[in-house]
Amino acid sequence: MNMAMTNVAAGQYAIPRRVGSHRARAVTNGVMTGLCAAAVALALVPLFSVLWLVVSKGIHSLSLSFFTKLPAPVGELGGGVGNAIVGTLFMVGLASCIGLPLGVGAGIFLAERGDGKLGHVVRFTAEVLAGVPSIVVGVVAYGLIVLPMRHFSAMAGAVALAILMIPTLARATEEMIRLVPRSLREASLALGVPAWRTSLSVVLRTALGGLINAALLAIARAAGETAPLLFTALNNQYWNLHPLQPTASLTVQIYNYAISPYEDWHDKAWGAALCLLILIGGLSLIARLAAGRRSQA
Amino acid sequence: MASGADTPRHAHLGDRAFAAGITLLGGAVLLVVGIIVVACARLSAPAFAKLGFFRFLTGSDWNPVEDSFGALPFIYGTLVTSAIAIVVAMPVAIGLALFLTEMSPSRVRRFVSFFVEILAAIPSVVFGLWGLMVLVPILRDVVEPALQHRLGFLPLFQGAPMGIGFLPAGIVLAIMILPTIASVTIEVLRTMPAALREGALALGATRWEAIGAVVLPYARRGIMGAVILGLARALGETMAVTMLIGNQPEIHGSLFAAGYSLPSVIANEFAEASGAVHTGALAGLALVLFGVTLMLSASARLLVRLSARRLVAA
Note the pLDDT tens digit of each residue in B77-114. 999 999 999 999 999 999 999 999 999 888 998 999 99
Q: Which of A27-36, A73-82, B185-194, B270-279 has the lowest mean pLDDT?
A: A73-82
pLDDT of B9: 52
C-alpha torsion sign, points A66, A70, A71, A75? negative
Fill in the amino acid letter for B175.
I
CA angle A141/A144/A146 to nearest 5° reads 75
Nearest chain A CA: its distance from B158 CA (Å) = 26
- Indicate the class that CATH gives domain B53-313: mainly alpha
Is A157 in contact with A142 (CB distance < 8 Å)? Answer: no
DSSP bridge partners of A6: A15
- Indicate the class that CATH gives domain A66-296: mainly alpha
pLDDT of A78: 80
Residues of B in contact with A49 (CB under 8 A): 130, 134
Convert the pLDDT of each residue in B149-182 to its tens digit.
Answer: 888 888 888 888 888 999 999 999 999 999 999 9
Q: How far is CA B30 from CA A125, A174, B288, in A?
A: 7, 16, 20
pLDDT of A1: 40
Q: For A226, which of B98, B124, B134 is closest by C-beta distance?
A: B124
The CB-based long-range contact list for B287-291 (8 Å cut-off, 24+ gap) reads: B287/B37, B287/B40, B287/B41, B287/B44, B288/B57, B288/B71, B288/B75, B288/B262, B289/A133, B289/A135, B289/A136, B289/B78, B289/B235, B289/B236, B289/B262, B289/B263, B290/A132, B290/A133, B290/A136, B290/B36, B290/B37, B290/B40
Mutate one of B92, B110, B125 to test the A interface: name it (highest A CB count within 10 A).
Answer: B125
> What are the structural domain ranges in chain A?
24-58, 66-296
Q: Cite the DSSP H helix spans in A130-249.
A: 134-141, 147-149, 154-178, 182-190, 195-197, 204-206, 208-223
Fill in the amino acid letter for B178.
L
pLDDT of B304: 86
pLDDT of B7: 52
Convert the pLDDT of each residue in B32-49 to its tens digit.
Answer: 999 999 999 999 999 999
> What are the structural domain ranges in chain B?
53-313
Q: For A133, which of B182, B229, B236 is closest by C-beta distance?
A: B236
Between chain A and chain B, the number of residue pairs with CB atoms below 8 A apart is: 300
Q: For A132, which of B24, B36, B128 is closest by C-beta distance?
A: B36
Q: For B2, which of A112, A170, A230 is closest by C-beta distance?
A: A112
Q: What share of chain A in percent tops pLDDT 90?
A: 78
Residues of A in contact with B129 (CB under 8 A): 254, 258, 269-270, 273
Q: Cite the DSSP H helix spans in B99-237.
A: 106-121, 124-130, 136-138, 144-151, 166-190, 194-202, 207-210, 216-236
- The ipTM of this complex is 0.91
- What does pLDDT average to in each consecutive run of 10 residues of chain A (297 residues)? 40 57 90 95 96 95 90 82 96 97 96 92 92 95 94 96 95 94 94 92 92 94 96 93 94 95 92 96 91 59
Nearest chain B CA: its distance from A76 CA (Å) = 22
Q: Phi and psi at residue A215, in whole multiples of 5°?
A: -65, -45
Instruction: Give residues with Cβ within 8 angstroms of B246, minimum separation 6.
Output: B162, B164, B165, B257, B258, B259, B260
Q: How far is CA B175 from CA A36, A44, A210, A254, B258, in A?
A: 17, 9, 29, 20, 20
Nearest chain A CA: its distance from B245 CA (Å) = 12
pLDDT of A3: 39
Residue B8, pLDDT > 70, answer no
Convert the pLDDT of each residue in B200-245 to its tens digit.
Answer: 999 989 999 999 999 999 899 999 999 999 999 999 999 999 999 9
Residues of A in contact with B133 (CB under 8 A): 53, 258, 266, 270
pLDDT of B94: 96
